[in-house]
Amino acid sequence: MEAINRMTDEQLVNMFANGNNQAFDILLERHKDRVYNYILLIVRNRDLTEDIFQDTFVKAIMTIKQGRYTETGKFAAWICRIAHNQIIDLFRRERNENTVSNEEYEDMDLFNNCKLCEENIEDQLVREQVLKDVNRLMCHLPDVQREVVYMRYYQDLSFKEIADITGVSINTALGRMRYAVLNMRRMAEENHLSLAV
């Protein structure tokens, strides 16, 4: 059991494609929070999020089982792309059926939402400023929290990689990040900084 938990996403995908259902359970556990939060951020409705979340993983299962998954080493990005497409499809269907009003989604125009597009120059400048602000706040964090924030945002490491490097469990690394984010939010509010990209 321990050995399978240490496998890469790609190894787990291959095992699942070859009939090991436990491999997909591990993939789901690894990525469920990221995918769920991504969907919720966009649709802002928990029931709808649950539906899209389920559809996303069902589509992933079908794609892998049909042998149509192409290995890129980026399973997390692939599963988020499926979620993104599921959201787009939902909004298209609802727009065509005229069942969704813009007011209901607070003028959410999914097709012109810069958060869902490739980063442009303005986005890069804003992101750089946010990272500078995060860097200033990071200096005031406890060492273990500062370490995980630095590795996650400035070295772009996964939580598994952070856990391996720091010699702690993934849950401990996630917990440190959670407390770091809470502390930085508090400091940002106290200093009137906006950390939203």
Which CATH number fits the domain that encloses residue 83?
1.10.1740.10
187: left (phi over 0), alpha (psi -120 to 50) or beta: alpha
Domain end position, chosen among 113, 139, 170: 113
Same domain assignment for residues 26 and 51: yes
Give pLDDT, residue 150: 78
DSSP string, 155-187: S---HHHHHHHHTS-HHHHHHHHHHHHHHHHHH
50 and 32 together in one domain = yes
Q: What angle do CA 164, 35, 80 make, to 5 degrees?
A: 95
What is the pLDDT, as a whole number, of residue 183?
A: 87
Structural domain count, the chain: 2
Residue at a domain's end among 113, 137, 152 = 113
pLDDT of res. 53: 93
Do 135 and 98 share a structural domain?
A: no
Measured in residues, the chain has a length of 197
Q: Are residues 129 and 172 in the same domain?
A: yes
Co-location of 57 and 84 in the same domain: yes
Query: pTM of the entire structure?
Result: 0.50
pLDDT of 163 reads 85
Asked if 58 and 13 sit in the same domain, the reply is yes
Half-sphere exposure of 74 (CA within 13 A, CB side): 6
Range of the domain at 17: 1-113
Shared domain check, 74 and 131: no
Q: Does 59 lie in the same domain as 45?
A: yes
Q: Residue 123's pLDDT is what?
A: 61
**Same-domain check for residues 153 and 92:** no
CA atoms within 13 A on the CB side of 184: 25
pLDDT along the chain (197 residues), means of 10: 87 93 93 89 87 91 88 82 84 64 48 53 68 78 85 78 84 90 84 59
107 and 149 share a domain? no
Asked if 123 and 159 sit in the same domain, the reply is yes
Q: How far apart are CA 1 and CA 22, in angstroms?
A: 10
The identity of residue 40, as a single letter, is L
Which residue type, as a one-letter code, is found at position 26?
A: I
Q: What was the pLDDT predicted at 197? A: 41
pLDDT of res. 8? 92
